[in-house]
Structure 1
Amino acid sequence: MNKTLKWSGSILTVSALAVSLAACSSGNNGSKGNAEQQTSGTESAGSKETQPPKLSQLSYWVANHAAAAAQMKTYAEMGMYQEREKESGVKVEFQHPPLDPAQAKEQFNLMIVSSKLPDVIEYNWNDYLGGPEKAIQDNKIIKLNDLIDQYAPNLKKLLDEHPDWKKQITTDNGSIYAFPFLRGDDKVRVFFGPAIRQDWLDKLGLSKPETIDDWYNVLKAFKEKDPNGNGQADEIPLYLDKDLLNVDAPFLGAWGINNSFYQDNGTVKYGPIQPEFKSFLETMNKWYKEGLLDKDFAAPNAKLLDNKMTTNLLGATATYNGGGIGKYAGLMKDKDPDFKLVAAPYPVLKAGDTPIWGQKDFAFNGIGAAITTSDKNQIETVKWLDYAYGEQGELLFNYGIEGESYTMQDGKAVLKPELLTPSNGISSQQAIAKYNRATWSATFVLSDNFQLQYLALPQQKEALEIWSKPTVERKMPLVTPTQDESSKFASIMTDINTYKDEMLLKFIMGVEPIDQFDNYVKKIKSMGIDDAVQIQQAALERFSKR
């Protein structure tokens, strides 16, 4: 399952957003006013309140996904949305930015400054400059609290039953700003981690690595002992591009830190300036020099990764359970029956230690569908979105169409075998994507019953168990700076992130000697990292008080 560009603290910095910062706003009571305005607009003198105008069309901006894009032009062709249109009579015009994350962000920035927005925008609103509360104040999206209370009984019931979910989707000011994507159970919150070729380990008589030293020895063997058996020294021991280095610290976490902000017993710290970061860089530099780390790591390329994996060149990487282990098993099933990519534990420095860092989402990861101020029928849009959180919506959004993609057995939805083990050369994620978005994200509650079926292979079930072991105790929740803090934080971190990412590559590739690390730290401190840490600390304390 692909992870969606979700990390706390990422900030939009495109200058075009300055227009939105100056926009006037109805602020925190905007949604109530909108609700009252729509209701009063449907009444005539001396008559009782009538229903709002019937919703017939909806414009909806949302990022596309590779599994869907390979088969359809828009989500409007997806089974669940076609079924939803039949049920509701609402035709949805989906607007998708390019698949490339940078281009998608650029399109969002250009769109959000417009005076005419789509009715619904599904996005990680923590990436909006100033956070979701600022988007409300900028009069871009509406506050949903009153509308949910009055017109979204399914979501309201869930939030009443799960106050921790409500805390996560609420701003420090108490605003609910989007219909959220929620991972309902621990089983659906873990889906990413280190992976290694078990067939190569078996051929060389090696055990699965647990420590950083174990990994070094295994990668050396992959490079030198021809595990793909073609008589050539063409093996790539480890593909770990610069983006994967950032995602939940798959190797950096062995040193107890990450590549951004984290909290240690309630105290916020910045990983890239810690002494442990220097040790990590020394290790990665050694691996790079010895040819253990793929030479293309500085230029992330998903198609290149797929090619290296499916041409039997790659020994290990960090990947997803469905969109990685499951995908490659399907693609290699007929091509190489011996191929077996399996999960490896998040590495530690000392054998027997429990890993601190690993991938585990909170129930809410920041992605949600916000209703914009351009929507002329907000009440009915709320009702349309709320459907996904009810019993019928749960079935549609998790499993697709009964009889086509799933059947009911003993009161439970069961995905059809042809979706889990497709025989037409596509992955199970692509097969399921014809019917729904359950393998990445949408505005609904992801079911653990779906997840346990989607992880159909034994190695996928094992991956869930292995990758669930880290404590994840230092992960920052989805905090947001205040409006005043936001501009300062963005100004500081834009420059720091650019410099830090540049130096990360230089240190690993040996362009910059490691003995310059102290100067690198001094530079980041001179750029204001201590102020940024203080902003994150204040935001963490506010989050704790929500």
Structure 2
Amino acid sequence: MRRSKWTSAFLCTALAGFMLAACSNSDNAGNGGAATTEPSTDADQGEAVESGPATAGLPISQGDLTLKFFIDLDSKVGATMKSYNEIAAFQEMEKRTGIHIDFQHPPVGQTTDQLNLMRASNSLPDIVFYNWPSIPGGAAKAIADKSILKLNDLVDKYAPNFKKILETNEEVRKMATLNDGTIYMFPVLWIDPAVRVNYGFQIRKDWLDKLGLKVPETIDEWYTTLKAFREKDPNGNGDPTDEIPFVSSAGDFRNFSGAWGINASTGFYQQDGKIKYSAMEPAYKDFLETMAKWYKEGLIDPEYASTDGKMKDSKITSDKGGAFIGSLSANMGRYLGLAQPNIEGFDLIGAPAPIGPAGKPYTNTNNFIKSVPGPGAAISMNNKHPEETVKWLDYLYGPEGIKLINWGIEGESYVMKDGKPQFTDIVTHNPDGLPMDQAVTRYALPHVAMPTVRVKDANWAITTTLPQQIDAVGTWEQSDTSLLLPLISPDEKDSARLASIMNEVQTYEDEMINKIVMGIEPVSKYEEGVETLKRMGIEEAIGIMQDALDQYNQKK
């Protein structure tokens, strides 16, 4: 059983009442006192240390300013509320800053469509939270189109907290800016590496125990394990055919590709500073051949192409699924909570990234190395109060703002114990019976994407409370991350061209993968597929990504 270097100090308290923060070695959220100096960075923990101008210039407005903020309604919030306006942290922030935020949440699944419509009609609200590097042309195109503002001068004048982070953290500065140094958003920040390792392979431990199997570490061991799940009736219901050894929604099974030293999940990866595209590498054919074999033998969910999140949940919690890939909270924690009362012995354990022909446990999860995972809050060109908006956003990167968004309201959602914040029973043992990840959202968002610094103690107190979760982090952090790419941004023209090429490439590749894995086409069709990708411009796309990576590496 592996123990994370970040988890050893937490295990005892996680088992004794969710008091993770109480025995932490650092105060990641801070003291919230009347500090007078600007924030610095703690090299050991990677969190913003609370020494910033927390209350300087408050209130920002006298209560007569409303800003419109476009952002997805996170499902954990949406389970009990209709808007982020109902969250106590934002209500308190309005009292402190004098600015009212009118949160505008698009319908589920319609975020991109609504954003495109608003850009086309020049009707963007004041603040727009989105994954800006993902749009055609990237953030540079959005600035050139006069959709969002270039923020360098505004940050320099009105954002001392965020500015200090950019000045003192090279990794954040490189990921959060364009190649020419343009600042275009206030990003989600995962400065502490401990909050990034939250996703990986998971497997039914009780099934392993019943069949006398160990946690698989290699592709061959995975095959043996999944084969046993398929043939030996581990759920014990007398039907040896109803188990689904590996439950996969869409392309989940592509995460096995790391065993071949490629990344079929994201396509692009790096090897010794050189950009590669997985489908163009010979190892990709071997990976497809193995997945086709597994699929034919019933080891991969036969419905993977149509399985959505709800179907995946059902297959795991109905005692059918044996293994899957997912997150610590939304999958492992939730499944344990849902299934254990109904399925005797139900248990999950994190499994390491499998080792295969490439010889190392390569992970495909890019977020493991990203202090800036991607999304952030941009200010639209329609904003009539950019100075006040920047001040409001910057508050979220100062000590009091970080503490407010991560912990909520002192005396209600948390109390101070031995100088450190600790969630109260209203979060950890909610009187309305809400699970912790929903209960906390009435006060704070330590596990939801927001433009602020994510605090380890608060995040782990919600997402990593169970020993299974803590062990999983210790396992997943052993993965080799050398194939992963940081958040890189091609230039405006290149980004638009890249999007054009990859839209066609990815559509074709998805079809090719499904046909080969499902046995509709033979694996020998792979070479033909490579030639098709070349005609579509994949080699040009690789060149664009190489230029972007080179520019990223050369950033000062």
Report the TM-score when normalising by structure 2. 0.85
* Equivalent residues of 2:67, 2:100 under 8 A apart: yes
Match of 1:254 in 2: 259
Match of 1:221 in 2: 228
From the superposition, tell whether residues 423 and 524 of structure 1 become closer, same or farther in structure 2 (CA, over 3 Å).
farther
Match of 1:432 in 2: 440
Match of 1:357 in 2: 363
Q: CA deviation at 1:322?
A: 1.4
Match of 2:44 in 1: none
Match of 1:149 in 2: 156
Q: CA deviation at 1:464?
A: 0.9
Is it true that 1:174 corresponds to 2:181 in the alignment?
yes
Is it true that 1:202 corresponds to 2:203 in the alignment?
no
Match of 1:98 in 2: 107
Give me the whole-angstrom Cα distance separating, in 2, the residues matched to 1:456 and 1:180: 26
Is it true that 1:520 corresponds to 2:526 in the alignment?
no
* Equivalent residues of 1:358, 1:470 under 8 A apart: no
Q: Report SS of the residue matched to 1:250.
A: helix
Amino acid in structure 1 at the alignment position of 2:483: R
Give me the whole-angstrom Cα distance separating, in 1, the residues matched to 2:223 and 2:160: 54
From the superposition, tell whether residues 327 and 417 of structure 1 become closer, same or farther in structure 2 (CA, over 3 Å).
farther
**Match 1:457 to one of 458, 463, 466:** 466
Match of 1:22 in 2: none
Amino acid in structure 1 at the alignment position of 2:496: S
Q: Deviations over 1:335-394 (max 9, x none)?
A: 23521112101111169x431224314100121100111110110111111111111111
Give me the whole-angstrom Cα distance separating, in 1, the residues matched to 2:73 and 2:370: 22
Is it true that 1:111 corresponds to 2:111 in the alignment?
no
Match of 2:541 in 1: 532
Is it true that 1:120 corresponds to 2:127 in the alignment?
yes
Q: Report SS of the residue matched to 2:304.
A: coil
From the superposition, tell whether residues 237 and 512 of structure 1 become closer, same or farther in structure 2 (CA, over 3 Å).
same
Give me the whole-angstrom Cα distance separating, in 1, the residues matched to 2:515 and 2:426: 47
Q: Deviations over 1:15-34 (max 9, x none)?
A: xxxxxxxxxxxxxxxxxxxx
Give me the whole-angstrom Cα distance separating, in 2, the residues matched to 1:97 and 1:185: 30
Match of 1:14 in 2: none
Q: Deviations over 1:45-74 (max 9, x none)?
A: xxxxxx988662110111222211221111
Is it true that 1:74 corresponds to 2:83 in the alignment?
yes
Give me the whole-angstrom Cα distance separating, in 1, the residues matched to 2:326 and 2:316: 11
Q: CA deviation at 1:104?
A: 2.2
Q: Deviations over 1:433-474 (max 9, x none)?
A: 222222131011011222332311111111111111112112
* RMSD between aligned residues: 1.9
Percent identity of paired positions between Structure 1 and Structure 2: 43
**Match 1:185 to one of 166, 180, 192:** 192
Amino acid in structure 1 at the alignment position of 2:314: N
* Equivalent residues of 2:61, 2:99 under 8 A apart: no
Match of 2:238 in 1: 231
Query: Structure 2: which 5+ residue stretches go unaligned?
Result: 1-59
Q: Deviations over 1:454-498 (max 9, x none)?
A: 311111111111111112112122222222223322222111111
Is it true that 1:312 corresponds to 2:312 in the alignment?
no
Is it true that 1:476 corresponds to 2:485 in the alignment?
yes
Query: Structure 1: which 5+ residue stretches go unaligned?
Result: 1-50
1:363-382 alignment to 2 at 5 Å? 363-382=371-390
* Equivalent residues of 1:193, 1:343 under 8 A apart: yes
Give me the whole-angstrom Cα distance separating, in 1, the residues matched to 2:519 and 2:426: 49
* Equivalent residues of 2:255, 2:263 under 8 A apart: no
Is it true that 1:242 corresponds to 2:250 in the alignment?
yes
Q: Report SS of the residue matched to 1:76.
A: helix
Give me the whole-angstrom Cα distance separating, in 2, the residues matched to 1:392 and 1:486: 37
From the superposition, tell whether residues 424 and 358 of structure 1 become closer, same or farther in structure 2 (CA, over 3 Å).
farther
Amino acid in structure 2 at the alignment position of 1:285: A
Amino acid in structure 1 at the alignment position of 2:263: N
From the superposition, tell whether residues 521 and 536 of structure 1 become closer, same or farther in structure 2 (CA, over 3 Å).
same
From the superposition, tell whether residues 487 and 395 of structure 1 become closer, same or farther in structure 2 (CA, over 3 Å).
closer
Match of 1:211 in 2: 218
From the superposition, tell whether residues 54 and 403 of structure 1 become closer, same or farther in structure 2 (CA, over 3 Å).
closer
Match of 2:509 in 1: 500
Give me the whole-angstrom Cα distance separating, in 2, the residues matched to 1:323 and 1:171: 32
Give me the whole-angstrom Cα distance separating, in 2, the residues matched to 1:484 and 1:133: 9
Report the TM-score when normalising by structure 1. 0.86
From the superposition, tell whether residues 467 and 420 of structure 1 become closer, same or farther in structure 2 (CA, over 3 Å).
farther
Q: Report SS of the residue matched to 1:262.
A: strand
From the superposition, tell whether residues 518 and 421 of structure 1 become closer, same or farther in structure 2 (CA, over 3 Å).
farther
Give me the whole-angstrom Cα distance separating, in 2, the residues matched to 1:287 and 1:440: 36
Q: CA deviation at 1:91?
A: 2.1
Match of 1:407 in 2: 415
From the superposition, tell whether residues 531 and 498 of structure 1 become closer, same or farther in structure 2 (CA, over 3 Å).
same
Q: CA deviation at 1:526?
A: 1.4
Give me the whole-angstrom Cα distance separating, in 2, the residues matched to 1:154 and 1:336: 49
* Equivalent residues of 2:263, 2:364 under 8 A apart: no
Q: Deviations over 1:206-247 (max 9, x none)?
A: 1111111111111111111111121123111111222424xx
Give me the whole-angstrom Cα distance separating, in 2, the residues matched to 1:415 and 1:254: 40
**Match 1:65 to one of 42, 66, 74:** 74
Match of 2:11 in 1: none
Is it true that 1:263 corresponds to 2:303 in the alignment?
no
Match of 1:41 in 2: none
Q: CA deviation at 1:80?
A: 1.7
Amino acid in structure 2 at the alignment position of 1:61: F
